[in-house]
Amino acid sequence: MTGPCLDCTRNSLALAVSGAHLEAMRAAWRPKSVLGLEADALLRAVGGKAEAGLHTKLDLAVERARSEEQALPSICAACRHQGDFEFPDALASDPEPPWALWVHGSPGALTRACESPSAGVVGARRADAYGNAVARDIGRAVARAGGTVVSGLAFGIDASAHRGALDVEAGATVAVTGGGVDVVYPKAHRQLHREIVDRGAVVSEMPPGTALWKWSFPARNRLIAAISDLVVVVQGARHSGSLHTADAALARNIPVAAVPGRIDAGVSQGSNLLLADGALVVTEPSVVVRALGLDPDDKKAAIKADLVEACEAISADRVDDYLLQVGTQVGNSRLARLELLGLAETGTDGRWRLVG
């Protein structure tokens, strides 16, 4: 494991150690304008009387980080200069690029999210049943068509979108968090966190172990926007973090879509305003899929080679031979999988046939 270069590590750690100070200065500072400062400049800016103490803290943190590099084998990291994986171009060329990235899970999932179609699905934490259901449907539709679902692992819409992607057998999803990738926030999402680590990636610009501050959330939102090719706001109140993500997307020339909501529901007002401002109207999940340039009807996009074999057996009307060849148990489970995907069915004559 090589990890990010010393400077970048130091710059990221500077953010982590001065978290509380950034929080206290929230009124005076737009947090995002300090994210790009190098360590010394940052500490000078936020430190005031405590600057000397922060320097000491930072030096200790750098030392510890270097000695602990090997301690978390499932986490890998990179910066623009070096690292365990290729630092994505989309983030390197961002107007507010992260110093470094830590990935818990598969860095390939992050690369895929940046290079092939991906949708940032964001919205209110206090979403209602409608919002959660729609978010999950969108997550499923995007994943089924072969796209990646990017979100922030929060309660409500974020979690629903991730779950929707995980519902799909080979569904891809990336979670961006504001704290360290090993810090589960909210705690209730321990299981979801683990599943995303297993089947996708949890990504952060903060070193492992970093706690979350209020400013961490808008900072994380800009990364969601930067990774995605389209940002979908499912539900969000006026002045909410979801609108912040939408702003970040617009600033990066990334299209924004929004799901229409009830006009008397506070939780939909922000998203409805986005629609009023010209955001793409999500009339059904496939709208998102099409906007990503994917084909919502291409059900075979996400099927694996073993299922293609089963499809061929069905179309050649040689299902019995196929069962004998691969074993009845295995063959049956593949046929059932095709049925579940809506690709095959049996008629009243009990014969398998392909659908569509």
Partner 1 sequence: MLTKVMTFALEGVEPVPVSVEVDIRPGLPTFQIVGLGDTAVRESRERVRGAIQNSGFEFPMKRIVANLAPASLRKSGPSFDAALAVGILAASEQIPLLSIDGTGIFGELSLSGELKSCAGALPATEGARTLGLSRIFLPERACAEASLIRGISIGAVRDLRELHSTLIGERPLREVEPQPEIVQGSSAPDLSDVVGQPGAVEALVVAAAGGHNLLLEGPPGTGKTMLARRLPALLPPLDEDELIEVARIQSATGIGLNTGSGFCRPFRAPHHSVSAAGLLGGGSVPVPGEVTLAHRGVLFLDEFPEFRRDALESLRQPLEEGEVSIVRRAGRLKFPSRFQLIAAANPCPCGVGGESNGCQCPPLSLERYRSRMSGPVLDRIDLSVFVGRPAISDFARAGGGHPSSTTSKEASARVQSARQAQHARLGPGRLNRDMSSEELTGGGALETAAERVLAEAYERHRLSPRGRVRVLRVARTVADLEGEDTISQDSVLAALAFRMRGPKR
Q: Where are the alpha helices (DSSP H) in 168-298?
A: 190-199, 216-227, 241-251, 269-276, 285-291
Could you give the CA distance from residue 68 to residue 71 in angstroms, rounded to a whole number? 5
Is 264 an interacting residue with respect to partner 1 (CB under 8 A)? no
Minimum gap (Å) between residue 317 Cβ and partner 1: 8
Distance in Å, CB of 130 to partner 1, minimum: 17
Q: How many CA atoms lie within 13 A of 24 on its CB side?
A: 9
Question: d(Cα 116, Cα 344) in Å, to the nearest integer?
Answer: 28
Burial pattern 314-330, b for ≥16 Cβ within 10 A else e, equals beeeebeebbeebeeee
For partner 1, the binding residue among 95, 333, 354, 355 (CB under 8 A) is 333
Say how many C-beta atoms besides its own lie within 10 A of residue 293's C-beta.
Answer: 12
The nearest distance, CB 348 to partner 1, in angstroms, is 4
Question: What is the Cα–Cα distance from 300 to 343, expressed in whole angstroms?
Answer: 8
Paired tokens of 165 = 């992607």
- Over the window 203 to 232, marking each residue x when it contacts partner 1 by CB under 8 A and - when it does not, the resulting string is ------------------------------
Query: Smallest distance, Å, CB 195 to partner 1?
Result: 7
Q: Which of 304, 339, 311, 299 is nearest to 140 (CA)?
A: 299
Shortest distance, CB of residue 136 to partner 1, whole angstroms? Answer: 11
Q: Looking only at residues 181 through 200 of this chain, which bind partner 1 when binding is defined by CB under 8 A?
A: 195
Site for partner 1 contains 328 (CB under 8 A):
yes
Q: CB nearer to partner 1: give 248 or 323.
A: 323
Q: Residues 76, 121, 166, 183: which binds partner 1 (CB under 8 A)?
A: 166
Q: If you compute the radius of gyration of the chain from its CA atoms, what whole number of angstroms results? A: 23
- Does 312 bind partner 1 (CB under 8 A)? Our answer is no
Phi, psi of 230 (to 5 degrees): -160, 135
Does residue number 70 form part of the binding site for partner 1 (CB under 8 A)? no
By CB under 8 A, is residue 335 in contact with partner 1? yes
State which residue, 48 or 342, has the beta carbon closest to partner 1. 342
Amino acid in the structure at residue 156: G
Please calculate the CA angle 142-94-217 and round it to the nearest 5 degrees: 70
Q: Which helix (H) or strand (E) holds 306?
A: helix 305-315
**Residue 51 to residue 145: CA distance in whole angstroms:** 51
Residue 167 contacts partner 1 per CB under 8 A: yes
Q: Which of 316, 336, 354, 355 binds partner 1 (CB under 8 A)?
A: 336
Q: Does 299 bind partner 1 (CB under 8 A)?
A: no
Minimum separation from the CB atom of position 140 to partner 1 (A): 10
92 binds partner 1 (CB under 8 A): no
Is the Cβ of residue 126 or residue 299 nearer to partner 1 in the bound state? 299
> Which range of residues in 82-90, 219-227, 278-286, 316-324 is near partner 1 by CB under 8 A?
316-324
Which range in 218-226, 238-246, 287-295, 314-322 contacts partner 1 by CB under 8 A? 314-322
Give the chain's length. 356
**At its nearest, how many Å lie between partner 1 and the CB of residue 298?**
18
- How far is it, in rounded angstroms, from Cα 243 to Cα 254? 14
**Minimum CB distance to partner 1 smaller for 56 or for 346:** 346
273 binds partner 1, rule: CB under 8 A: no
CB atoms within 10 A of CB 51: 15
309 binds partner 1 (CB under 8 A): no
93 vs 346 by CB, closer to partner 1: 346
Distinct helix (H) and strand (E) counts, the chain = 17, 11
Per CB under 8 A, does 67 bind partner 1?
A: no
* CB contact set of 17 (below 8 Å; sequence gap of 6+): 54, 57, 58, 61
**Which residues are near partner 1 by CB under 8 A?**
166-167, 195, 318-321, 323-324, 328-337, 339-340, 342, 346-351
